[in-house]
Chain A
Amino acid sequence: MARQLSLAQEVKVVKKQKLSLVILALLLIATLVIPPLFDGVFNRIEPWVCGMPFLIFWLVAVNIMVAVILFVLWLMDRNQEA
C-alpha cells in the first residue's frame, strides 16, 4: 500500500515537472511574441553574442532551448514508461 502511494506521488511529481517544462518552453516562445517585451529586450543588434547580432542570437538560443526541453520531456516519458 505504502509502495503504491509513493509510486502515485512520484507520478504526480513527474507530471508537474513535465507541465513546468512545457510552460517554460511556451514562456521562451512568448519572449518573441509579446511586442513590448520583444521590442524592449530582444529586438536589437547590440550586444553581439557568439558572433551574432543579439536578436538572431536570441532566436537561435530559443530554438535550441525549446528543442532541449522537448528532448528532456521525451526522456522523462521514456523513464516513466520503464
Chain B
Amino acid sequence: MNRDSIIAIGVVVLYMLGLNAWIRVKSKMEEGNLEEFAVGGRNFKWYMVLFTVLGTWFTGTCFTGAFGFATTYGAMALYDTTQVLAGLVLLYVIGPRVWAWGKAHQLYNLPEFVELRYRSDKLAFFVALFGLILNLPWHVMAFKTFGYVVSALTYGAIPFNIGMIVAGLFIMSYVMYGGQKSVVYSAFIQGQVMIFGSMILLAIMGQKFFGGFGPMLRQVAEKTPELLTVADSPYWASVIIAGILGSYCWLETFNRMFVAGSVREIKICTAGAPLLAAGMYVTLLLVGIGGSLIPEVLADPESGFLTMARMAGGPLMVGFAGIIVMAAEMTSIDSQLATNSVVMANNIVKRFKPDLTEKEVVRIGQITVVVSCILALAIAMMDLPMLMEIAIFTFQHIVHIFPTAIIGILWKRGTAKAAWAGLAVGLPITAYLTLNEAVATTVFGSWTPGIIGFVVNLFVYVVVSLTTEPDGYVEELFAQIKNVTQQA
C-alpha cells in the first residue's frame, strides 16, 4: 500500500473510530427495552429526525451509481431530486397521522400500522414478508459499495471482500448494541457529514475543474448539449412517479416517522429537509454532468466522485470523499437492518410464538441483524451481474404497497378486501411485464411495469372499497388523530 492509500484509508478509519465512540456513549439502551430498540424511545428532536430522514433517503449509490448516471445520461439523472422533494411533501401530509397512531397504539413499523388500519393480521404478515424480501438486494448493494470504496481508496491493496466484512461488522455491532437508538445517533453525525461535507467538496470541485457551475454548464452545452435535456420523458415521468409512490412503502422510511418526539418535530423536519436535500443532490448531479468533460471520469463514471476528489485534493480529499460515500451508505443500511430486525422478531416470529417476552423479542431482533448481515455479505461476495436488475425489480414492486398503506392513511373508506384485491391483480401484472420486457415496451412504450401494475392496483382498491361494507372502527381511528396530536 503506498503513502497516498495509507493517508486516504487512515482518514476513513479515524472517522469510523470517532463515530463508534459517539454511538456507544449516546445510545446505551436499557436491556430488553423494545420501545428503545424499535423506535429509539420515540422522543427525538426535529434536528435528529431531519438527519435520520435524509440519511435513510440518500444511499452511497447516489455518489457512485447516480453520479455515474449523470455523467453518462445527463439531466435524466435529475429525476431523483424531484422524487425526493415530492416524498417530503408526502411526509408533511401523512407524517402527523402516522405519528399519532404510532403513539396511541405503540406501533413500531409499517406492518403494525397495516394491522391496526385494516384489522387484518394476514395482510400485515404479507406486507412484512414482502418488505423484508424486497429489502435484501439493497443490503447486498450496500455491502458491495463498502467493498468498492475501501478497495478504491487503497488502489486495491485492501481486497474488496475484506472492505465489505470490516464495514459489515462495524454496522452490525452498533445496530445490535442500540437498535434504532444507535441508528438515529449515527445518522445525526453521518447525515451532516454527507450533506454539508459533500456540498463543500462539490463546491471545491466545481471551482477547481470548471471555474464555477455556470462555466461548467456552458462547456457541457457546447460539447454535449444532449446531456442538458431529457430524451425519453415518459420513462423520466415513470421513474419519478414510481419513486414518489415507493418512498414511504419501504419499511425503513415509514419507520422514520415513529422516532420523532411529537408531531411538531416531524413538521419542522419537513420544513427544513427539502432545501438541504435538493441543495446537496442537485449540486452532486450537476457536478456529475460536468464530469462528462473530464476524460478520467468518463472512463469510469461510477468512480467519478472519488476520481474528481483525488484529482482536486489528493489523498486527504479522497479520504474525505470516501467518508461521505460510506456515511451515506451506512445511514441507509443501518436503518434497514434495525427496522427489519423488529419486523422479523415482532411481526413474523411473534406471530408463531405469541408468548415471547419483550426481552426475547429484542434478542431475536439482534440475532436477525447478525443473520441479515451474514446473508447479505455472503451474497455480495458472489459474482452477481443481475444485482442491479434485481434492485430495479424490487423498486417496480414496492409501489404496490402504496394503496394499502398510504391511501389507507388518507382515505377512511379503504377496506382490507380492497387492499387484497388490488395487490392480487396489480402485482402479477407488474411481475409479468417486468419479466416480459418486449411485451411491456410494445404495449406501454416507456411507461414502466411498476406504474402500469400500480394504476390497476389503485383502480381495483378504490372500486372494491366503494363496493364493500365500510368498517365503522376506521371512523374512530381517524377521530383519534386530533386528540393524540393535541395532547402531544
Instruction: List the interface of chain A (C-beta within 8 A of B).
Output: 22, 25-26, 29, 32-35, 38-39, 43-45, 51-53, 55-56, 59-60, 62-64, 66-67, 70-71, 73-75, 77, 81
Contact = CB atoms under 8 A, between A and B. Distances in A.
Contacts of B217: 51-53, 56
Contacts, number: 96
Contact of A26 (B89, B233, B272): B89
B275 A67 contact: yes
Contacts of A29: 82, 85-86, 89
Interface of B is mostly: helix
Given A59-B78, A59-B282, A74-B268, A33 B241 contact: yes
B286 interface: yes
A45 B225 contact: yes
Interface string B184-224: 00000000000000000000000000000110010001000
Contact of B82 (A33, A70, A81): A33
Contacts of A33: 82, 236-237, 240-241
Contacts of A35: 233-234, 236-237
14 contacts: A22-B92, A33-B240, A35-B233, A38-B230, A43-B230, A45-B225, A51-B217, A55-B229, A56-B75, A56-B217, A60-B278, A62-B85, A67-B278, A70-B92
Contacts of B86: 26, 29
B274 interface: yes
A71 B271 contact: yes
Contacts of A66: 85, 88-89, 274
B245 to A, nearest CB: 12
Interface of B: 75, 78, 81-82, 85-86, 88-89, 92-93, 213-214, 217, 221, 225, 228-230, 233-234, 236-237, 240-241, 264, 267-268, 270-272, 274-275, 278, 282, 286
Contact of B228 (A26, A55, A63, A70): A55
